[in-house]
Amino acid sequence: MAAIVELKNVDKVYRGAVDTQALFNINLAFEQGSFNSIVGESGSGKSSLLYIIGTLDRPTGGELWLEGYSTSSLSSDGMAALRNRTTGFVFQFHYLLPEFSAMENVLMPYLIGHRNADDKVKKRADELFDLMGIARVKNNMANRMSGGQQQRTAIARALMNNPRVFLADEPTGNLDSENTAVIYRIFREVNRQFGTTFIIVTHDRRIAEQTDRIIEIKDGRIVMDLLK
């Protein structure tokens, strides 16, 4: 199967009073529809890797290929458009916009890319709320929901544009075990239904063991790449 994400010789150095190299010569490829996790200790470089894959950050060396496009020549707006169309992000914190309702938050990525949402698009948002099991709170303001509901709204938002790559950075870090289990069940269901590629960053090995491929990073280098 073709690679949807490919990193070639990727380095990342954070410039400052003292330069810090977070990633060393990373070479990785993720296949379309695969379900992957990246594990590592805090500060190992796993989040840096995820931000580069999600085009939130640029590598200082090497190249990222996303959906067949090399990102190195893209402008900031070009990266933004590619990110909006191709990827969906979920973080440890939900980052919903408190000024908008849950429904408006979910529609936001579509509105960024397309200006107006027609009935078909709103129907898709409704389906995502159903899939997340939070249809009854869809008209609540974003800050008028429980932590679990907020995180599920954030996942629905990340899925709104039907992304080919779903990136999650410690997505259940703030949730209890019950909500954690529900969310991983949803991830699996989306992966199966829509063929979405999942790349989940976690420091929890028990979660990683539920994925099909575990990549371990230590001190900015890949030390293990295990395909089940």
Residues that bind other proteins (CB under 8 A): 51, 54, 56-57, 76-77, 80-85, 89, 91-93, 95, 97-100, 108-109, 111-113, 115, 157, 169
User: What is the number of other CB atoms lying within 10 angstroms of the CB of residue 88?
Assistant: 26
- Least gap, CB of 183 to other proteins (angstroms): 19
SS (H, E, C) 76-139: HHHHHHHHHHHEEEECCCCCCCCCCEHHHHHHHHHHHHHCCCCHHHHHHHHHHHHHHCCHHHCC
Looking at the Cβ atoms of 81 and 181, the one nearer to other proteins is 81
- Least gap, CB of 28 to other proteins (angstroms): 20
Going from the C-alpha of 128 to that of each of 15, 16, 117, the distances in angstroms are: 41, 42, 15
C-alpha 223/C-alpha 225 separation (Å) is 7
- Least gap, CB of 45 to other proteins (angstroms): 13
Looking at the Cβ atoms of 88 and 148, the one nearer to other proteins is 88
Going from the C-alpha of 196 to that of each of 54, 71, 93, 161, 186, the distances in angstroms are: 14, 20, 22, 11, 12
C-alpha 165/C-alpha 8 separation (Å) is 18
Looking at the Cβ atoms of 95 and 184, the one nearer to other proteins is 95
How is residue 179 written in tokens? 């909500």
Do the beta carbons of residue 154 and residue 95 sit within 8 Å?
A: yes
Looking at the Cβ atoms of 2 and 116, the one nearer to other proteins is 116
Looking at the Cβ atoms of 5 and 214, the one nearer to other proteins is 5
- Least gap, CB of 64 to other proteins (angstroms): 15
Looking at the Cβ atoms of 35 and 89, the one nearer to other proteins is 89
- Least gap, CB of 139 to other proteins (angstroms): 15
- Least gap, CB of 74 to other proteins (angstroms): 12
- Least gap, CB of 80 to other proteins (angstroms): 5
Q: Name, in order, each residue with C-beta under 8 angstroms of 80's C-beta and a sequence gap of 6 or more.
A: none
Looking at the Cβ atoms of 24 and 93, the one nearer to other proteins is 93
C-alpha 222/C-alpha 37 separation (Å) is 13
